[in-house]
Chain A
């Protein structure tokens, strides 16, 4: 049987605590204390983060931890493997889950069904942690679908609004198509190797020579995970689904849920399928097209959340470029950018959520409060939230001394030093970063520098819990930007799992 310390994995703990959440919601209604459910969810994320630290200690001493039932060893059973890459990604997921739950306490105060909301928020993080701990397709698929089902429900959470249900349906159809394609790719891999376990598959595949079937499989895998990661031909659902969700959920979806697609692509392409086929150039080209589409389509947007969603597509392009170099330094930049993108995009969406929460009564409705022209100059009336919003946008822009600069610099440098066509890709990535500065500056100008209208002057500063969540992320932005060394070393240890230096 499993040891008791092994059952205390963050994903299992989150699932167990999520089961208790409706009970807390019931007690909240009985004793009439507002925000008890949200406080409970925040506490559960804090507890799971504390459980991550002993895992980190153990992984750094042993290299990896493997967990399975005693009598069901891998060919017949399922297995968890926890290595540095898993710990790195789960750190980003739990961090953003914690601040999103803290922010939601006040953001969702006027909505009904708060207990449902917090259960789904806990399960989405549990699903993502399960994905990064999985070492076979069974666990990967089950936790992937837990994450996806919670995402659909949360996108369509405001079910009385046309935008939410329409976007959720579109997301459901495209994402389910992707997960079914993943299931087909899994069945072919199982047929080739006779096992569902990643390590045993890698051993069998390394000695076989069927190149044409590899090309089919790599194509299927890139399609299936590319839909979740919003790689360009499959990005159509993202700019609809992310703005339609409540703002803390937009932060979760845009910050971390789409990066699970990148994680799974990395894990399969570097660990399972031998890198025989020359696909670096194809992946790099896809990454560059993704950047261009994200940045060019962000220009005409008038809705601030939609603009940030398009900027997420562009940032997925930068991460994909780092992955496609297939060198230690490029992958290190890519995984550091995953953490940085989670922090800065989370901060941007949470700040916008604070603007919307404070201004929606005055402007009229939430949809109107999202249009940039209606909230022009709101940063002047809400100085703290305005400052954190400016920090996040400057970080997304890649200004030195903030965290976005560090990882974007590493990615471009890795691409440029790889040589060949990657020098061109690096130049195009630089062009894209320069191009994106234009709309980010325009956003700062409209939100922060324009004078506020008479109506908007009545808006108050955001509530305390929102401000705490924003300040935690802002401090992290500065910390990684000014002293990136420990984070770079952490990322370097993480990617040493994928490629040996």
Chain B
């Protein structure tokens, strides 16, 4: 298939992720939005790794994407830990409640 299909799909995914970050009020959904954004970038990497030379797939981006998946797993784990702590303090998962920090 043409590489442009993959790149367009990755950019659409990126847009969906940004929409999710901006519109959702639930803390866990915001973290899911971050994961969607990460998947868009990873997909783009994999798509580009197939076009370097005909018949060749460059292994380095694949290694990079696997490392990136692990790293984003770590980030989401820390984010979920913070969500647990926020829930213990505020008894709510609504991001609108977190507005004591301003200025």
Among B27, B42, B44, the one with the most A-chain Cβ atoms within 10 Å of its Cβ is B44
| B46-85 contacts to A (CB < 8 Å) | 47-49, 51-52, 58-61, 63-64, 67-68, 71-72, 74-75, 78-79, 82-83, 85
- Which of A170, A173, A188 meets B34, CB within 8 Å? A173
Contacts of B14 in A (CB 8 A): 184
- Is A184 a contact of B40 with CB atoms below 8 Å? yes
Let me know if A145 is at the binding interface, CB within 8 A.
yes
Let me know if A420 is at the binding interface, CB within 8 A.
no
Let me know if A496 is at the binding interface, CB within 8 A.
no
Count, A-B residue pairs, CB within 8 A: 117
Let me know if A163 is at the binding interface, CB within 8 A.
yes
Contacts of A172 in B (CB 8 A): 75, 78-79, 82
Let me know if B86 is at the binding interface, CB within 8 A.
yes
| B20-55 contacts to A (CB < 8 Å) | 21, 27, 30-31, 34, 37-38, 40-42, 44-45, 47-49, 51-52
- Which of A77, A170, A176, A300 meets B103, CB within 8 Å? A300
- Is A76 a contact of B59 with CB atoms below 8 Å? yes
Contacts of A183 in B (CB 8 A): 38, 41-42, 45, 68
Contacts of A173 in B (CB 8 A): 21, 30-31, 34, 79
Given A191-B51, A194-B58, A240 and B75 contact (CB-CB distance below 8 Å): no
- Which of A165, A184, A187, A240 meets B89, CB within 8 Å? A165
Q: Mark A163-199, 1 if CB is under 8 A from B, else 0.
A: 1011111101100110011011011101100101000
Given A162-B89, A177-B34, A191-B51, A168 and B74 contact (CB-CB distance below 8 Å): no
Alpha-carbon separation in the docked complex, A177 to B58 (Å)? 27
Counting chain A residues whose Cβ lies within 8 A of the other chain, the interface size class is 35 or more
- Is B45 a contact of A187 with CB atoms below 8 Å? yes
Q: B75 to chain A: closest CB distance in Å?
A: 5
CB closest chain-B residue, reference A188: B44
Let me know if A153 is at the binding interface, CB within 8 A.
yes
Q: A182 to chain B: closest CB distance in Å?
A: 8
Contacts of A190 in B (CB 8 A): 45, 48-49, 61
Given A180-B37, A183-B68, A166 and B30 contact (CB-CB distance below 8 Å): no
Let me know if A138 is at the binding interface, CB within 8 A.
yes
CB closest chain-A residue, reference B45: A187
Alpha-carbon separation in the docked complex, A184 to B85 (Å)? 31
Given A149-B78, A165-B89, A169-B27, A142 and B101 contact (CB-CB distance below 8 Å): no
Q: B100 to chain A: closest CB distance in Å?
A: 7
- Is A153 a contact of B64 with CB atoms below 8 Å? no
Alpha-carbon separation in the docked complex, A180 to B75 (Å)? 11
CB closest chain-B residue, reference A194: B52
- Is A145 a contact of B75 with CB atoms below 8 Å? yes
Alpha-carbon separation in the docked complex, A137 to B65 (Å)? 12
- Which of B10, B41, B82 meets A168, CB within 8 Å? B82
Contacts of A194 in B (CB 8 A): 52, 58
CB closest chain-A residue, reference B14: A184
Q: Mark B80-97, 1 if CB is under 8 A from A, else 0.
A: 001101100110000000
Let me know if B12 is at the binding interface, CB within 8 A.
no
- Is A177 a contact of B21 with CB atoms below 8 Å? yes
Contacts of B63 in A (CB 8 A): 138
| A354-394 contacts to B (CB < 8 Å) | none
Let me know if A56 is at the binding interface, CB within 8 A.
no
Contacts of A76 in B (CB 8 A): 59-60
| 8 additional A-B residue pairs with CB within 8 Å, beyond A148-B75, A159-B85, A186-B41 | A138-B67, A149-B74, A163-B101, A168-B82, A173-B79, A180-B34, A181-B41, A183-B38
Closest A-B pairs by Cβ, 4 of them: A191-B48, A183-B41, A187-B44, A180-B37
Give 23 CB contacts A-B under 8 Å: A76-B60, A137-B64, A142-B67, A145-B74, A149-B74, A152-B75, A156-B85, A165-B85, A167-B101, A168-B82, A169-B27, A169-B86, A170-B101, A172-B82, A183-B41, A186-B41, A186-B45, A187-B61, A188-B44, A188-B48, A190-B45, A196-B60, A239-B103
